[in-house]
Amino acid sequence: MLRLPLLAAASLASYCAGAVLDPLRFPSAQSINIWQLRAKSLQADAALSARDTSFPVSTFTQPLDHFHGTTNATFGQRYWVSTRHQKPGTGAPVIVLDGGESSGVLRLPLMDTGIVDILTKATGGLGVVLEHRYYGDSVGVQNFTTDNLRWLNNEQALEDSANFMRNVKLSGIDEDLTAPNTPWIYYGGSYAGARSAHMKVLYPDIVFGAIASSEYFDVIRTYADPTCSANLDWVTEVRRPESIVNNLDRAHKALFNLSGLASDQDFVSVLQIPLGAWQDKNWDPAVGDTAFDDFCAALNGNMTDLADVEQDVRLPDGLTVNAALPNYAQYIIDVTSNAWNYVASCTATLEECFGTSDDSRYQVYDISQTWRLWMFQVCTQWGYFTTGPPSPKTPAIISRLLDLDYLHKVCVQAYPPGQFFSIPPLPNVTPVNVLGNFAIAADRLAIIDGEQDPWRPDTPHSQYYAKPRADTVTRPFKLIPGERALSPLRFEIEPEIQALCIMTLG
Ligand SMILES: *[C@@H]1O[C@H](CO)[C@@H](O)[C@H](O)[C@H]1NC(C)=O
Ligand SMILES: *[C@@H]1O[C@H](CO)[C@@H](O)[C@H](O)[C@H]1NC(C)=O
Ligand SMILES: *[C@@H]1O[C@H](CO)[C@@H](O)[C@H](O)[C@H]1NC(C)=O
Ligand SMILES: *[C@@H]1O[C@H](CO)[C@@H](O)[C@H](O)[C@H]1NC(C)=O
């Protein structure tokens, strides 16, 4: 078993490395439809990022299977090195940023102006961005069939990092900087933050999270602008007779230009999409994305305070609806106002764009279908499904029709059993360990979360499941207040993290 003198900083909060909107934010069949609709512009984003050549790229050869001898195939794991602040021969640490579930290219800004730059500057260390297996160009298979994805799991990916840290001969560096002789600081956010914690506590099989993470939207409901939150409540809440979820007829769907969509679940899953922009917010508009604020402004229209919210309007066709509903509908239709609207960008039939019952559209296996990667991890080990709250007593800003069956069905559609591997009936998140997972801790493991992060309920800072604990020098436990921590890997926690590393290493 690996034993590394490792300081891991596990920021379970989400981070945005550039404003790359992630259609798989709410894993479901609908999110794949949106991915397919937006594939061209997503590829353009990636091509743009790939032009960043300020840090040289290298590869480290990894076995595709570390454990079971099922294949002798290898792949080149990409990594990028920054020697900008390195003081050779001083025993300074290597700061490695885990690329998580995306191309490592998208993390390079963190090495230029973000956390890796900050930490290497503070320590005289070397910076590394390490790409995750199967993502970006660290791909060792010919296609993404169920069988070929069977080496995409937590255990294999953690062993990649350990193997890298123990054995890498960093290109252009004469010094031996391998672990355990050199201290390594392992940093990650969101999924990669959980990986950092796993690396540190040496329990690669423990996973955070629970299957039905309905609290995601409760965080938004609690912290959004009060007028916007109240409008969302009036428009979508089952307690309100005129809300859209109580009126899923053709006339109401027509307001959204979606009357051609047969399934009510498919319809409400399109309405959920703008809420994904919450995760990209930040106190500093230069860093965060304003799409959620734009959405709220559109929804609120001319309503400026809570007293305005409860009004109804009578539409020309005779429908009486809550005043915010036509605003919501217009926002969903009108693609010109922002990036989260899709109805007007649909050039095929509505069923072809937003229907989710045709299995064949999810059975495309070539390696351009990168949505298959994170979705596979969700379906097999992570289970991050963002359902509506099952109980009518819990207020909701998304429809309760978005239940686990609906969100999970794409796992069955997209990953039919292979010859060597079948996905589990439900993600194997070891539910008996869930409470232990929220208590995850180790010396020199810093756990940093954002107060308003929608994923906070899945972290050791969970408002719902985690017990309070002390913030100590050996076990730092920080909750960054307000919106700031929605992208904590950029700038905001600089003084705290610097102090932390210097204390812990020094
Ligand atoms: C891997 O290589 C070894 C040695 O050449 C061989 O014995 C073994 O059968 C190979 N395994 C697979 C799965 O091809
Ligand atoms: C996927 O790749 C494997 C080789 O790894 C090949 O045998 C198989 O036919 C391919 N399947 C598809 C659907 O492309
Ligand atoms: C918003 O505009 C509508 C239509 O012009 C009007 O009926 C309504 O009273 C206005 N609401 C507020 C709060 O100003
Ligand atoms: C609504 O849909 C119809 C037919 O699908 C289309 O002609 C019309 O332009 C759409 N309206 C908007 C605002 O996109």
Q: Confirm or reject: Cβ of 48 under 6 Å from ligand 4.
A: no
pLDDT for 324 = 92
How many C-beta atoms surround the C-beta of residue 487 within 10 A?
A: 28
Q: Confirm or reject: Cβ of 345 under 6 Å from ligand 4.
A: no
Report which of residues 414 and 117 the model is more confident about.
414
The secondary structure of 448-478 as a DSSP string is EEETT-TTGGGSTT-TTTPPP----SSS-EE
Query: Which of these, 286, 256, 285, lies nearest to 273 by C-alpha position?
Result: 256
Query: Which of these, 197, 201, 191, 195, lies nearest to 158 by C-alpha position?
Result: 195
**Which residue is closest in CA terms to ligand 2's atom 10?**
143
Please give the single-letter amino acid code of residue 257. N
Nearest listed ligand to the Cα of residue 364: 2
Q: Confirm or reject: Cβ of 302 under 6 Å from ligand 3.
A: yes
Q: Confirm or reject: Cβ of 309 under 6 Å from ligand 3.
A: no
Alpha helices in 27-148 (DSSP H): 29-50, 108-112, 115-123
Q: Give the mean model confidence (pLDDT) for residues 71-86.
A: 96
Q: Confirm or reject: Cβ of 145 under 6 Å from ligand 2.
A: yes
The DSSP letter of residue 382 is: I
**Which residue is closest in CA terms to ligand 1's atom 6?**
72
Query: Which of these, 23, 78, 76, lies nearest to 45 by C-alpha position?
Result: 23
Query: Which of these, 322, 368, 371, lies nearest to 26 by C-alpha position?
Result: 371
Ligand 4 atom nearest the C-alpha of 260 is 5
pLDDT for 30 = 87
Give the contacts of 403 (CB within 8 A, at least 6 positions apart): 387, 388, 390
pLDDT for 16 = 29
For the whole model, what pTM was predicted? 0.82
Average pLDDT, the chain: 77
pLDDT for 369 = 92
Classify each residue of 133-157 as buried b or exposed e, where b means 16 or more C-beta atoms within 10 Å of its C-beta.
Answer: bbbbebbbbeebbbbbbbbbbbebb
Which residues have any ligand 1 atom within 6 Å of their CB?
A: 71-72
Nearest listed ligand to the Cα of residue 312: 3
Q: Confirm or reject: Cβ of 257 under 6 Å from ligand 4.
A: yes
Highest mean pLDDT among 37-51, 80-94, 303-317, 467-481: 80-94
264 Cα: distance to centroid of ligand 4 (angstroms): 19
Q: Confirm or reject: Cβ of 254 under 6 Å from ligand 4.
A: no
Cα–Cα separations (whole angstroms), residue 497 to 89, 129, 184, 217, 330: 23, 18, 15, 29, 44
Active-site amino acid positions: 190, 453
| Region of poorest pLDDT, from 136-145, 162-171, 452-461 | 452-461
Report which of residues 193 and 250 the model is more confident about.
250
**How far is Cα 144 from Cα 359, in angstroms, rounded to an integer?**
16
Query: Which of these, 410, 409, 418, 400, lies nearest to 145 by C-alpha position?
Result: 418
What region does 317 belong to: left with phi over 0, alpha with psi -120 to 50, or beta? alpha
Alpha helices in 256-336 (DSSP H): 264-271, 291-300, 324-333
Q: Give the mean model confidence (pLDDT) for residues 236-258.
A: 89
Could you give the 3-state DSSP secondary structure of residue 481?
A: coil
219-229 tens-digit pLDDT: 666 767 888 88
Site to probe by mutation for ligand 2, drawn from 148, 150, 152, 363 as the one with most ligand atoms within 8 Å of Cβ, is 148
Which stretch of DSSP H or E encloses residue 60? strand 57-63
Ligand 1 atom nearest the C-alpha of 70 is 13
Q: Confirm or reject: Cβ of 349 under 6 Å from ligand 4.
A: no
**How far is Cα 44 from Cα 466, in angstroms, rounded to an integer?**
41
Site to probe by mutation for ligand 4, drawn from 256, 257, 345, 346 as the one with most ligand atoms within 8 Å of Cβ, is 257
Asked whether the predicted pLDDT for residue 208 surpasses 60, the reply is no
**How far is Cα 143 from Cα 26, in angstroms, rounded to an integer?**
24
**How far is Cα 402 from Cα 150, in angstroms, rounded to an integer?**
28
28-76 tens-digit pLDDT: 898 888 888 877 666 665 666 566 667 889 999 999 999 999 999 999 9
Rounded to 5°, angle at Cα 363 from 359 and 369: 130
Question: Strand 126-130 vs strand 74-82: parallel, antiparallel, or unpaired?
Answer: antiparallel
The DSSP letter of residue 66 is: S
pLDDT for 307 = 83
**How far is Cα 110 from Cα 187, in angstroms, rounded to an integer?**
11
The DSSP letter of residue 438 is: H
Reported as a pLDDT band with limits 50, 70 and 90, residue 181 is confident
What region does 210 belong to: left with phi over 0, alpha with psi -120 to 50, or beta? beta
299 Cα: distance to centroid of ligand 3 (angstroms): 13
Asked whether the predicted pLDDT for residue 265 surpasses 60, the reply is yes
Asked whether the predicted pLDDT for residue 505 surpasses 60, the reply is no
Residue with tokens 């300081």: 7
